[in-house]
Amino acid sequence: MQLEKIDLGKTPPETPFGLNVEKAWTDLVDQLRDILNKGVKFSDNFNAELQTITTSATPDTESAITHTLKRVPTGYLVYSRDKAAIFYDGSSSWTATTIYLRSNVASVTAKILIF
């Protein structure tokens, strides 16, 4: 069985509103294609921030780490470091712009996820 082409007549004239809607949809699809083609990053899906930090030159000394989350973070993950070290919370209260961490080893460069 073959489907036959149905003639619905002439398409209605294009209106400025219709053209604006079509352009908006086209722009949205283009933006989504760009995002997906470049790959979705971890930080795109979470309210979190990836940072590279270096701790104090004195072991067990608090280091202030600024962030741009605009809220008090709930935690952090250390996912890479250049020395065998343990990270732990400092004694100062975290703020909407700064967290405080300590390391038992001096001058550790680490990558952290603040969330």
Pick the closest to residue 75 from 38, 54, 48 (CA basis): 48
0.75 exceeded by pTM: no
Taking CA atoms, 37 is separated from 33, 40, 50, 103, in Å, by: 6, 8, 22, 39
Tens of pLDDT, residue by residue, the chain (115 residues): 454 555 555 555 578 887 888 888 889 988 888 877 777 776 677 889 999 999 999 999 999 999 999 999 999 999 999 999 999 999 999 999 999 999 999 999 999 999 9
Per the CB < 8 A criterion, the answer to whether 105 and 60 are in contact is no
pLDDT score of 81 = 97
